Amino acid sequence: MSTPESPARDHHRSSGDATPPPADDGFRAKAREFLARHAPGPMEGLDAAEQLRIAKRFQAAAYDAGLIGITWPAEYGGQGLTAAEQQAYDEEAAHHDLPTGVFMVGMGMCGPTLLDLGTHEQKARYVPPLLRGDEIWCQLFSEPGAGSDVASLQTRAVRDGDEWVVNGQKVWTSGAQFADFGALLARTDPDVPKHRGITMFIVDMHSPGVTVRPLRDMTGRAPFNEVYFDDVRLPADAVIGEVGGGWLAALTMLGHERVSIGGSVRRGSDPLAFDNLVDLARRRDRADDPVVRDRLAELYAHERALALFNTKLRQEAEAGASPGARGSIAKLAGAELLWRAVDTAGLIAGPALTSWEEGDAAAEEMAVAINGTPASSIAGGSNQVQRNIIGERLLGLPKEPQVDRDVPFRELKVGTQRTP
């Protein structure tokens, strides 16, 4: 199991009031009016292509209205506003079921990493269309043989003149079937220990040699993909950060990813959100049950605490402070919050959660949400990985033993065992 080291940018600020000053009422009113006019209606029954078209149209309209990239730098297409405006927009957006999921990887992970480590030319080229939804991004980290140990990746990138040639396979890649670009981790030097010989690249997902194959999960949907690279050629300026500096780039992106996953806004349409579980209890005549009430109160407290913690991280990010290892707290707390919500739903509805009348869309969405909950404990690094990071980097506990840490990758078997 990987236990990433602390990146150089991992620093902390003193704690304080997690609630930002209120946004200008005019901004909130503008957001509310925009959402009332432009939020798409239900998209059940629409095929994937039509849903994507609607999502891109909404994202572009929101961007043009000044409601996307609210705290991102104006130099690269953002609005240059504060966390208060972002929070105001999030609170208004939570009342709608917006089609923003396909942009989550770009907005929450790839874009922030480009801002941290990319060149001026990369930021100017890629960030504005990413924000507007004109170009969709995916993250190409996980591999079949690496598990939670990202540093054991075996996809190779070999320098050939002014280009890099990539061969290998990635898996569990969210949204790759829609992506125009990806942030790829590849091994560029097998003669050094596994954490040192990695580089991050920008990949055009429409390049010759890139193959995307959707994977269907237990919800019956296909949000993930396998991605194959067969002699894919990348220009020299596709490197994000430094050649051989991919592990630092990975830690940077994983930090953003964990904040993004843990800090996802609980939409009003989320069947596992507190408000909707209260409605479920009322419909089931369980709202006066003291055990149910106690469980709902506990859920509300956790949901609110996580929201405030993420507000604090966002405020600090606005001030230039990386979330660092505290992103693992957000990610772990978000995963545990979902499990707590599933347990509460089970307490309220019992066996009724397992069957419903055909055409009951609300019941089906609840089933999909419950079946998707186990993924929350894996995506972005398992709960065990997050606990290791919190223990080692925030609490100062001893590091987990790693027998392969100083062994050249070429001498390892499947990345983690020394070749006999």
* Element at 289 (helix H, strand E): none
* Cβ 331 vs Cβ 259: under 8 Å: yes
Distance between CA 312 and CA 9 in Å, rounded? Answer: 18
Distance between CA 155 and CA 153 in Å, rounded? Answer: 6
Sign of the CA dihedral 90, 92, 93, 95?
Answer: positive
Instruction: Fill in the amino acid letter for 34.
Output: F
H runs (alpha helix) in 119-245: 120-132
Neighbours of 257 (CB within 10 A): 25
Residues in the chain: 420
∠ CA(32), CA(38), CA(48), 5° rounding? 130
Active site residue 50: no
Strand spans (E) along 136-256: 137-140, 156-160, 163-170, 181-187, 198-204, 210-215, 224-235, 239-240
Residue 158's φ and ψ, nearest 5 degrees, are -115, 130
Q: Which residues contact 102 (CB under 8 A, 6 or more apart)?
A: 52, 55, 136, 175, 178
Distance between CA 284 and CA 286 in Å, rounded? Answer: 5
The first and second tokens of residue 385, run together, are 């990985």
Half-sphere exposure of 243 (CA within 13 A, CB side): 12
For 31, the 3-state DSSP assignment is helix
Task: With CA atoms as reference, report the closest residue to 73 among 104, 112, 100, 99.
Answer: 112
Q: Which of 92, 143, 257, 303 is catalytic?
A: 257
Look up residue 108 and give its DSSP letter: I
Q: Please list the active-site residues.
A: 257
